Homo-oligomer: A and B are copies of this chain.
Amino acid sequence: MMKSIVDKVLAGDIRTVARLIRDIDDGVPEVRQYLKELYLHTGRAYVIGITGAPGVGKSTLVDQMISHLRAQKKTVGVLAVDPTSPFSGGAILGDRVRMQRHSTDQGVFIHSLATRGYFGGLTQSTQSAIDVLDAAGKNFILIETVGVGQDEVDVARTAHSTVIVVAPGMGDEIQAIKAGILEVGDILVINKADRPGADKTLSDLRLMIEMGSKKYEQGKWKPPILKTEALFNKGVADVLKQIENHAAYLKKLTGPIPLRRRKEKVEQELAEMVKNRLIQEGFEQLAQTGAFDEAVQSIIDGKMDPYTACDTVILPRLGLLNRKV
């Protein structure tokens, strides 16, 4: 039975892939076993993150990128982690209707990751969903996120190439992503470039890139800045071209090791996994001791501060900390 699920994913069975991703999103514990088996079949897909503030046109760009990739006979998986994305059921009706054109194409798989477990793990869920799509044989996986919160930046980091999308005349929004832009953006796109202020946005972005110039020495990747009008399919091919260039750059860095197994990616992914397991196991153990409720009551009664409660009531009950405290 278990074999059959893994086999179905490897064969690219859409329904099984969809169910598995939904189970990942819901945090069903049994999926771990499938993910273990699927992992060894991953490493072939190229993962592209598309991130930016609401309203800049990320979904339209994704939609056009799908068409371009399909024209090249590539298969595509899309994960929308963006509550405003038409892919995830947000945004306005027109956008949603536009997306429909890909819904009957067997080479395209679109899914939204909606929820987030009580103990975080959006990055983990996204990575697991990527693994499933990768094992299912998708050539490209596009991940759409809102690039404002730290969570979204972390999700963007799971991609091989991250595209940051901005629109002219949204000064504040540019500020909003400024902190993370130089760190996670591999390609910068000014969408809706026919709007007033596009050149101002271009020079602003260029300045930001230059200000961070220490990081872009000889031979290092320097994020190109592109103008697009995704709605009219203008400039979209250039975006894909730059992604190709970036992929070639990464491949040169990594050598024969598949991108999926680059040291920093593996470290980041494993750290995320260990973190989630620590929390999960810790709280499971805790639930059996009643220590948490005990500590809460002491704090409510004003007998203890939460720092002390954590150190003296909770942590000693967890085997983890037997070495000290």
Interface pair A261/B149, CB less than 8 Å apart: no
Which residue on chain B has the smallest CB distance to residue A170?
Answer: B55
Listed residue (A269, A310, A323) with the most chain B CB atoms within 10 angstroms of its CB:
A310
Interface string of A296-317 (1 = CB under 8 A from B): 1001101001111111001100
User: How far is the CB of A313 from the nearest CB of chain B, in Å?
Assistant: 10
| 265-279 of chain A: CB within 8 A of chain B | 266-267, 269-271, 273-275, 277-279
Report the separation of the CA atoms of residues A283 and B261 in the bound assembly, to the nearest whole angstrom.
22
> Do residues B178 and A90 form an inter-chain contact, with CB atoms below 8 A?
yes
Contacts of A274 in B (CB 8 A): 282-283, 286, 292, 310, 314-315
- Among A148, A151, A309, chain B packs the most CB atoms within 10 A around the CB of A148
A175 touches B39 (CB 8 A): no
| Total copies of the chain | 2
- How many angstroms between the C-alpha atoms of A323 and B275 in the bound complex? 18
- Given A266-B296, A320-B319, A323-B285, are A308 and B148 also a contact pair (CB < 8 Å)? no
Alpha-carbon gap, A39 to B302, bound state (A): 10
Instruction: For the complex, give the distance between the alpha carbons of A314 and B286 in Å.
Output: 20
- Enumerate chain B residues within 8 angstroms of A269, measured Cβ to Cβ: 306
Minimum distance in angstroms from A292 CB to a CB of chain B: 7
Within 8 A of B (CB), among A29-44: 32, 35-37, 39-40
Do the beta carbons of A310 and B277 come within 8 Å of each other?
yes
User: How many residues does chain A have at the interface if contact means C-beta atoms less than 8 Å apart?
Assistant: 72
Tell whether, in the assembled complex, residue A309 and residue B278 are in contact, meaning their CB atoms are under 8 Å apart: no
Is there contact, CB below 8 Å, between A299 and B54? Answer: no
With an 8 A cutoff between CB atoms, is A116 at the interface?
Answer: yes
Contact A292–B306 (Cβ < 8 Å): no
Q: Which residues of B lie under 8 Å from residue A170 when comparing CB positions?
A: 55
Contact with B along A135-175 (1 / 0, CB 8 A): 00000000000101111100000000000000000111101
Determine if A273 and B306 form an interchain contact, defined as CB atoms under 8 angstroms apart: yes
Complex Cα–Cα for A54 and B56 (A): 13
Minimum CB–CB distance from A44 to chain B (whole Å) comes to 13
Report B-chain residues with C-beta under 8 Å of the C-beta of A292. Answer: 267, 270-271, 274
Q: Are A261 and B146 in contact (CB under 8 A)?
A: no
Does B176 contact A285, Cβ atoms closer than 8 Å?
no
